[in-house]
Amino acid sequence: ERVMVEMDVEPRPPQPRWHERYLQPCVAELLGSALFVFFGCLSVVEDTEGMGRLQPALAHGLALVLAIAVLGHI
């Protein structure tokens, strides 16, 4: 007679699929870079008097923060 021994084995986490591993990071990088460049260039289109270099610097910084916040987990 066989005795069944119950083993306490933790299940392995599921492996990511190919699109989660290769495609999503590429698309996230593309969107993040496009967002960064688009908002940076958009900030220079209408240069308000007195802002000088501050407006493009703030726009690039905020675009970078936004891209990281939205796409950083990928």
- Predicted local confidence at residue 62, as pLDDT: 87
**Domain-embedded: residue 60:** yes
Q: pTM here?
A: 0.62
Its domain, for residue 67, covers 19-46+54-72
**CA 48 – CA 72 distance, rounded (Å):** 32
Contacting residues for 63 by C-beta, under 8 A, at least 6 apart? 35, 36, 38, 39, 40
**Domain-embedded: residue 26:** yes
- Quote the number of domains for the chain: 1
Please give the C-alpha separations between residue 28 and each of 39, 44, 70, 74, in angstroms, as whole numbers. Answer: 16, 25, 9, 7
Q: Nearest CA to 43 among 34, 53, 33?
A: 53
- Predicted local confidence at residue 44, as pLDDT: 78
pLDDT in tens, 12-64: 888 888 778 888 889 988 998 898 888 888 877 776 677 777 888 888 888 88
